Amino acid sequence: AYSTKEERPVGRYPVPNKKDMPYDIVELMEEVEKKTGFLPNIFKAMSHRPAEFRAFFAYYNAIMNKDTGQLSKADKELIIVATSVVNRCPYCVIAHGALHRIYSKQPALADQVTVNWKLADLSDRELAMLEFALAICRADNITEEHFQKLERHGFGREDAWDIAMISAFFAMSNRIAHFIDLRPNREFYTMGRMPHGEKED
């Protein structure tokens, strides 16, 4: 189902023609494509519902692109990888694993987390962060002990909110990708794996 040998539809729902899309959505898609060199399939899939597209990416930007707090871009991507594994979402594991490799400059860590996060080469801080994210992902009973453990590793209450919101938002995103059968772009598989300037054979 996730073969990269041939072109497959983005998902179960049709992608509108660009000429039929609202201007603001086309503008954002073109901006993303120019920046990354390709357009991630989540943008194509969500364009099927313009109002939901806007709401989805507005919230994504609010939690992923904020400059305050203790979470780095690599931290955020690692949370997404770990929780998306639990939610069985190949699109998000593959796409955000690629982004983690780029931000962290660690080509193997996201793969390790995908297989078994408890055996990955994680710092104590990263372990505490992922333990909390996964507790949110599994809808565990959240207690003061969860917050205290985070605090021992430098995460305050607002950081806990950030970790929880990323976990919760991507639980929704994982379910969307699951039911529409969203396909990862081929480009994600090799991003961040090779030295800069080296090309895929």
**For residues 176 and 84, is the Cβ–Cβ distance under 8 A?**
no
Predicted model pTM: 0.91
Average the pLDDT over each of 64-68, 94-98, 109-113 and give the range with the smallest value. 64-68
Neighbours of 137 (CB within 10 A): 23
CA distance 1 to 162: 33
The pLDDT of residue 201: 46
- CA torsion sign for 84, 192, 36, 77 is positive
pLDDT at 1 over 60: no
Q: Mean pLDDT throughout 13-33?
A: 96
Q: What is the mean pLDDT of the chain?
A: 93
C-alpha distance across the termini of the chain, in Å: 23
The pLDDT of residue 5: 59
What domains, with CATH codes, occur in the chain? 70-189 (1.20.1290.10)
Residues 115-164 pLDDT 10s: 999 999 999 999 999 999 999 999 999 999 999 999 999 999 999 999 99
CA distance 76 to 87: 16
**For residues 94 and 189, is the Cβ–Cβ distance under 8 A?**
yes
CA distance 140 to 89: 20
Neighbours of 18 (CB within 10 A): 11
Residues 7-20 pLDDT 10s: 678 899 999 999 99
pLDDT at 78 over 90: yes
Structure token pair of residue 127? 């372990």
Residues 6+ apart with CB under 8 A from 103: 72, 73, 74, 77
pLDDT above 70 covers a percentage of the chain that reads 93
pLDDT at 178 over 50: yes
CA distance 139 to 190: 33
The pLDDT of residue 9: 81
CA distance 69 to 154: 11
CA distance 120 to 60: 27
Residue of 101, 119, 118, 102 lying closest to 110 (CA atoms): 101
